[in-house]
Amino acid sequence: MSRTHLRKFSRSETTRAEAFSDGVFAIAVTLLALDLADPPHKPGGLGPALLAQWPAYLGYLASFGYVSVIWLNHHQAFVRIRAMDRGLHAANLFLLLTTAALSFPTAVVADALQTDPTDSDARVAVALYAGLAATMCLSWVAFYQQIARRPELLDPDVEDTYVRHGRLRSWTGALAYTVAGLLGVFIAPLLAIAVFTVLPVFYFVTSEGLPDGTAPPGTGPHADQAARGSAV
Amino acid sequence: MSRTHLRKFSRSETTRAEAFSDGVFAIAVTLLALDLADPPHKPGGLGPALLAQWPAYLGYLASFGYVSVIWLNHHQAFVRIRAMDRGLHAANLFLLLTTAALSFPTAVVADALQTDPTDSDARVAVALYAGLAATMCLSWVAFYQQIARRPELLDPDVEDTYVRHGRLRSWTGALAYTVAGLLGVFIAPLLAIAVFTVLPVFYFVTSEGLPDGTAPPGTGPHADQAARGSAV
Amino acid sequence: MSRTHLRKFSRSETTRAEAFSDGVFAIAVTLLALDLADPPHKPGGLGPALLAQWPAYLGYLASFGYVSVIWLNHHQAFVRIRAMDRGLHAANLFLLLTTAALSFPTAVVADALQTDPTDSDARVAVALYAGLAATMCLSWVAFYQQIARRPELLDPDVEDTYVRHGRLRSWTGALAYTVAGLLGVFIAPLLAIAVFTVLPVFYFVTSEGLPDGTAPPGTGPHADQAARGSAV
Amino acid sequence: MSRTHLRKFSRSETTRAEAFSDGVFAIAVTLLALDLADPPHKPGGLGPALLAQWPAYLGYLASFGYVSVIWLNHHQAFVRIRAMDRGLHAANLFLLLTTAALSFPTAVVADALQTDPTDSDARVAVALYAGLAATMCLSWVAFYQQIARRPELLDPDVEDTYVRHGRLRSWTGALAYTVAGLLGVFIAPLLAIAVFTVLPVFYFVTSEGLPDGTAPPGTGPHADQAARGSAV
């Protein structure tokens, strides 16, 4: 009984942080569509003009995918968090700061690629994108770091591996985006774009620690655990 | 008692997916208003300039109506869903990806029609709109497909017909938007716009499986069922 | 007990309609700020350029105030609504459609006044604003109409006067905005702007049916009633 | 029991005000990213063009930080508020009005600094920013004023010092932004920007009344109190 009570309390404690974060994620993801502009064109030239802005579509997919995976990650984290302290708020706000800004390098990359996908501007653009995307991963590192330092912020029954795996995945993401940026700068910008687009899919597909479907969620005695495992 | 408990659990499981989706729907629908711009005009020419952008108003109505119906559909679905797995998250995120992008073809269509409602650009524009709108329906097909494959994600007392009807309506929508696009490309773009505007109204009015008002919602022994039926 | 249960059920029934509406209201209100643009100006001319766009500030105040009052009204309504049917969804979505579009006439009015606050464009602009604002009031008329036709959608203990007063206030608002528009068109556009700015304040201040502070909210035996009365 | 009941009631009373406010905060903060534009540049000139708009990045940091701190403050306030009256709604809406508008002076400052960080336009711009930021603090003064006048709006067990400290911090903020504005106008605009950027960090770090970590949140007998203290 007291367990349940604590749980409820903690959820209400974190409710507004989740609501605010969900708002920022939802807006960040939807604002990306503003980069999909009606292209200027001559009469009869709409079709080719639409095709010519393919980098904008790719950028939309890559950034929408990235923010979606971040959101799923965030969702998984807050299922386990029962209270927030200042440090965790700081890490969360830093994550939101970088997430909200992602539409900026997305637009820069789309523009640069549309002008010339191989010139130095395209290289600068993918470096900017990679830099911000890697920084988003680092904000997750800070997030897990804070949880590791203050384990009382987590539910007592959280998997032992949760924080360790989360930190590992965040460092891996930071590294992957950095490598993608370097490939883009030194080899070919389009290579970086390909990685930017594929990475979220890869993260989405491999994100489950527990195998999928070992137990139908919400039915067995460990329904809570199972549902968590299959949430992402 | 255990029923009620399961219910509550499942609702909290899906709460953040609903909150995030509601955010995206609300923003997608409101961003459509950004296409309603103060038109450039000569002194004294505001009135005619406002009238000349009638395609923008029609586009706003069509897309607002479409996203509204999608939202109502989504609401009806999540009344019945008690847990989410990765596949359902993927279908939901794909739906949000396409919904958030709807303002893009809406602007393209409005611009093209304002320039010349019969030329090839208008045909390209309505094809783009029809393509995205049909893809949104296909994301619903994937959504219902996943529920059909994993029935444990649904409440046990969901109507037998729910998934089947949902899938049928989604395929019908995809087909209707495709036909509207073809009419627009091969006959007249304005014809497509007419269908785009009427379709959401048609879907809204015919969306109830159960007849309206057989029981006052929230009062009878089957209040739950009735309210669901009359929700849309 | 059964009363409380019904209550809870109804609240969850309407939760997503409230969440979606809150989202649209919040975005509609915040997007108004996009009309507050950094004005083009010569070096050293920022100050005068900022002052010259005073109509944009007035428009922001008027529209922010209007949407705020609408939101408070909506909040009061959904405290009393326990279930939604299709008709009520339709009225609500129509309200959101008009609310989301308010930034459009706001920008048109601000622009026209900045060019020349007395010419025919300014008259067209205030007519457009008045027309949309009055339509928002009419969507409230439809809202109350639906509740009057289906009283089972309301909590049983709602004040007898609620629907009647709501309808009266909505018709009054529609009339007030129409009169303001006519004043603007036939006398002076600035007169209409003055009314647009003052009306929300007037509605906010006079919106309480019950006198303020007869009972401290949330403490007396009729806490529920009192808190409702003082909510707006 | 009756205590708990009252609590629940009050939370639902304020739920929509929190949801609407969270929406406005989330959107206000995310719209700031729209000022981070892809800079116009010559082929090969993207890098320098990106660097040249450093004031936009600084403005983004300063305003994102400021709204974040406002949100945390708001969160702390609504943990303690159990009912709202019209006056508190007015103060809250005034806060949202100023918060939503913050992207406007942020863009003005970024533009002016990018043109010339020392000329009269930059001085006007920082004065505008300081004026709005100080007004946001004054809306908090009105907020606390209303709570002081109507203590029944607060939970009975709120710390005695809460309102007094809140008012003091709000006046201090208004003063700090005013001084920063004066420094910017009479000495150097960049000095004002430095203060704008540092102030939110300062407020974030010093915002806790109770020392951090005296008790793990959510575990001790005074978990509620402790979690509140460490929320910011």
Q: Report the residue from C29, C34, C232 with minimal CB separation from D24.
A: C29
pTM to 2 decimal places: 0.86
Q: Is residue C2 part of a domain?
A: no
Residue B55 in contact with residue B193, Cβ under 8 Å?
A: yes
Handedness of CA B46, B47, B50, B51 (dihedral sign): negative
Q: Is residue B8 part of a domain?
A: no
Per-residue pLDDT for D123 more than 80?
yes
**Which one of C7, C12, C27, C38 would you mutate to disrupt binding with D, by most D Cβ within 10 Å of its Cβ?**
C38
Is some CB atom of chain D closer than 8 A to the CB atom of C28? no
Name the residue in chain C with its Cα closest to that of B207: C86
Inspect the interface and report whether the beta carbons of B86 and A34 lie closer than 8 Å: no
Per-residue pLDDT tens over the stretch C93-128: 999 999 999 999 999 999 999 988 888 999 999 999
Is some CB atom of chain C closer than 8 A to the CB atom of B187? no
Q: Report the residue from B47, B212, B213 with minimal CB separation from C124.
A: B47
Please name the helix (run of DSSP H) or strand (run of DSSP E) that holds residue D135, with its range, or none.
Answer: helix D120-149
Name the residue in chain D with its Cα closest to that of A28: D30
Is some CB atom of chain C closer than 8 A to the CB atom of D19? yes
**SS3 (DSSP) at D154:** strand
Per-residue pLDDT tens over the stretch D24-45: 999 999 999 998 989 999 999 9
* Nearest-10 Cα torsion for C34, C39, C40, C44: -150
Q: Is residue C4 part of a domain?
A: no
The pLDDT of residue A149 is 92
Q: Report the residue from A23, A28, A115 with minimal CB separation from D23.
A: A23
Instruction: Select the more confidently predicted residue: B142 or A79.
Output: B142
The pLDDT of residue C208 is 59
Inspect the interface and report whether the beta carbons of A32 and B100 lie closer than 8 Å: yes
Per-residue pLDDT tens over the stretch A180-203: 999 999 999 999 999 999 999 888
Per-residue pLDDT for C225 more than 50?
no
**CA separation for the pair B19, B189 (Å, rounded):** 37
Q: Is residue C9 part of a domain?
A: no
Counting residues of chain C whose pLDDT is more than 90, the rounded percentage is 60
Least confident of A190-194, B63-67, B228-232: B228-232
The pLDDT of residue A195 is 93
**Which one of C12, C13, C25, C154 would you mutate to disrupt binding with B, by most B Cβ within 10 Å of its Cβ?**
C13
Is some CB atom of chain B closer than 8 A to the CB atom of C114? no
The pLDDT of residue B14 is 85
Query: Which pLDDT band holds residue D15 (cuts at 50, 70, 90)?
Result: confident
* Mean pLDDT of the B34-51 span: 92
Q: Is residue C78 part of a domain?
A: yes
**CA separation for the pair D83, C116 (Å, rounded):** 46
Q: Tokens 């969702």: give the residue.
A: A75
Is some CB atom of chain A closer than 8 A to the CB atom of D227? yes
The pLDDT of residue B207 is 66
> Mean pLDDT for chain B?
83
Counting residues of chain B whose pLDDT is more than 70, the rounded percentage is 83
Asked whether this complex has an ipTM greater than 0.90, the answer is no
Q: What angle, rounded to 10 degrees, do the helices at D86-100 and D54-80 form? A: 170
In this structure, chain C runs to a length of 232
Residue B56: which domain range? 15-227
Per-residue pLDDT tens over the stretch D79-96: 899 889 889 999 999 999
Instruction: Select the more confidently predicted residue: A137 or C15.
Output: A137
Inspect the interface and report whether the beta carbons of B44 and C119 lie closer than 8 Å: yes
How far, in whole angstroms, is CA B112 from its chain's centroid? 23
Q: Is residue B209 part of a domain?
A: yes
Counting residues of chain C whose pLDDT is more than 70, the rounded percentage is 83
For chain C, the first-to-last Cα distance in angstroms comes to 29
Residues on chain A touching B22 (C-beta within 8 angstroms):
26
Inspect the interface and report whether the beta carbons of D218 and A100 lie closer than 8 Å: no
Please name the helix (run of DSSP H) or strand (run of DSSP E) that holds residue B70, with its range, or none.
Answer: helix B54-80
Inspect the interface and report whether the beta carbons of D86 and C212 lie closer than 8 Å: yes
Residues on chain A touching B8 (C-beta within 8 angstroms):
none
The pLDDT of residue A180 is 96
How close is the nearest chain D Cα to the Cα of A173, in Å? 23
DSSP3 helix / strand / coil % (chain A, rounded to 5): 80, 0, 20
The pLDDT of residue A216 is 40
Handedness of CA B170, B176, B180, B186 (dihedral sign): positive
**CA separation for the pair D60, D80 (Å, rounded):** 31
Per-residue pLDDT for A64 more than 90?
yes
* Mean pLDDT of the B140-160 span: 90
Residue A218 in contact with residue B83, Cβ under 8 Å?
A: yes
How close is the nearest chain B Cα to the Cα of C217, in Å? 28
Is some CB atom of chain B closer than 8 A to the CB atom of C96? yes
**CA separation for the pair C201, C65 (Å, rounded):** 7
Inspect the interface and report whether the beta carbons of C217 and D152 lie closer than 8 Å: yes
Is some CB atom of chain C closer than 8 A to the CB atom of D9? yes
Query: Which pLDDT band holds residue B208 (cuts at 50, 70, 90)?
Result: low
C206: Cβ–Cβ under 8 A, 6 or more apart, which residues? none
**CA separation for the pair C30, A151 (Å, rounded):** 38
* DSSP conformation letters of B158-193: S-TTHHHHHHHHHHHHHHHHHHHHHHHHHT-HHHHH
Identity at D129, one-letter amino acid code: Y
Residues on chain B touching C150 (C-beta within 8 angstroms):
216
Q: How many domains does chain C have?
A: 1
The pLDDT of residue B190 is 92
Is some CB atom of chain A closer than 8 A to the CB atom of B56? no
Q: Is residue C3 part of a domain?
A: no
The pLDDT of residue B63 is 94
Q: Report the residue from C11, C23, C36 with minimal CB separation from D23.
A: C23
Is some CB atom of chain A closer than 8 A to the CB atom of B9? yes
Per-residue pLDDT tens over the stretch B96-140: 999 999 999 999 999 999 988 888 999 999 999 999 999 999 999
Query: Which pLDDT band holds residue A207 (cuts at 50, 70, 90)?
Result: low
Name the residue in chain C with its Cα closest to that of D84: C231
* Nearest-10 Cα torsion for B163, B165, B167, B172: -170
Per-residue pLDDT for A126 more than 80?
yes
* DSSP conformation letters of D11-77: HHHHHHHHHHHHHHHHHHHHHGGGGS------TT-HHHHHHHTHHHHHHHHHHHHHHHHHHHHHHHH
Least confident of B158-162, B173-177, B190-194: B158-162
**CA separation for the pair B50, B48 (Å, rounded):** 5
> Mean pLDDT for chain D?
83
Is some CB atom of chain D closer than 8 A to the CB atom of A128? yes
Per-residue pLDDT for C230 more than 80?
no
Residues on chain B touching C34 (C-beta within 8 angstroms):
34
Question: Token digits for A190?
Answer: 């389009």
Q: Is residue B62 part of a domain?
A: yes
Q: Report the residue from B11, B46, B227 with minimal CB separation from C125.
A: B46
Question: Token digits for D223?
Answer: 């978990």
Is some CB atom of chain C closer than 8 A to the CB atom of D149? no
Per-residue pLDDT for A218 more than 90?
no
Is some CB atom of chain C closer than 8 A to the CB atom of D126? no
How close is the nearest chain C Cα to the Cα of D26, in Å? 9
Per-residue pLDDT tens over the stretch A140-195: 999 999 999 998 899 888 888 889 888 999 999 999 999 999 999 999 999 999 99
**Which one of A97, A102, A118, A185 would you mutate to disrupt binding with D, by most D Cβ within 10 Å of its Cβ?**
A97
Residues on chain D touching A8 (C-beta within 8 angstroms):
none
Per-residue pLDDT tens over the stretch D157-205: 888 888 998 899 999 999 999 999 999 999 999 999 999 999 998 888 8
> Mean pLDDT for chain A?
83
